[in-house]
Structure 1
Amino acid sequence: MSKETAPRSRDRAQDDLRKALDRLKSGIPQDPDLACKAKAGKLRINPTTVAKEAGRARTLIGYDGCTYMNIRTEILATRERAIPTVSFDQVVQTLRADVSRLKEEVTVAMSRVAAMQLCMHANIRKAERRVAEIERTHGVRRDGPVAESVAAESVVRKVAGSKVVSIVAKGSQRRPDRG
């Protein structure tokens, strides 16, 4: 081995270890065993897993005073501040619970809308009966489609809120309420 190839292989090993550590931190290892552990949420970052991911000997980073102490220190620091991993199954379970909750909320909202529509239709029928009663009281006559359209054109309804206050025929004086 020449003097030039030794530093290159040393740099290559260090690069491999650093890239392996980055892949493990991001949760996407290339090693099949480690990828399976990452998917299950059981992947731990330690010198052994980094060496396995890099395809290098564990002794390069496995003990105090090892060849790549700076990478070992970085691995141990990562292990101390490790973020809890979330497995694919946990994410799916959480999303399914969210979907179920949202479906329930939609069902409740739709039933509220249906109840409001029933109330609205009941109020419309009640208002139509009240209008018909007031029209009878004030002598306005609606006998069919033609008479109804004529009555609609010749009658002005004064409405306050949801109650009909009075009905006055266009061009005539307001009739006093009969009591």
Structure 2
Amino acid sequence: MKKDFSEDALIEQPAIELYGELGWETADCFHEFEQAGGSPLGRETASEVVLVRRLRAALEKLNPTLPAEAITQAIEEITRDRSRMSLAAADQLWANSNLKPSEFSTPVLGLIFLRYADHRFTQAQAALAREGQGAQGRRRISEIDYQAEGVLYLPDNARFSNLRSCPEDET
């Protein structure tokens, strides 16, 4: 009996089965473009990895206060073709990080979270400043005020904008 050592048999099908067992909605789209009407997932080509419509809907659902521009920027970053990155730039990215490939997602997700937290903090800061201008008089806004708004308090040196303004050797 001849064993099937194809990518479909060794990776795709076991992954689809595992995700289904874990309760994920799965779709085996190996032959999706052979069907009349195109891809049932909304992909334009078989090489399109990210399902942009679903990603946009998920990002909007998870981040209802994020402006549309931020959602668009996140999608552009996620879908950016890194294969066009020069080999030298790719080597530097890995060499300068001292991370194994399996560890690389942690700082990236941390930066995404920090950017979101900074955005929410900025919104709360503006709202609290408006409220502080009222008849109650002017009082100092504290961490407790941000917590009451359900927002993580970020001191100036922990803000995403501060991180972006640091020289590369300080980050």
| TM-score range relative to shorter protein | under 0.3
Q: TM-score, normalised by structure 1?
A: 0.22
When Rg is computed on C-alpha atoms for both structures, the one with the higher figure is: 1
User: Which fold has the larger relative contact order, with Cα–Cα distance below 8 Å and residues 6 or more apart in sequence?
Assistant: 1
Greater helix share, structure number: 1
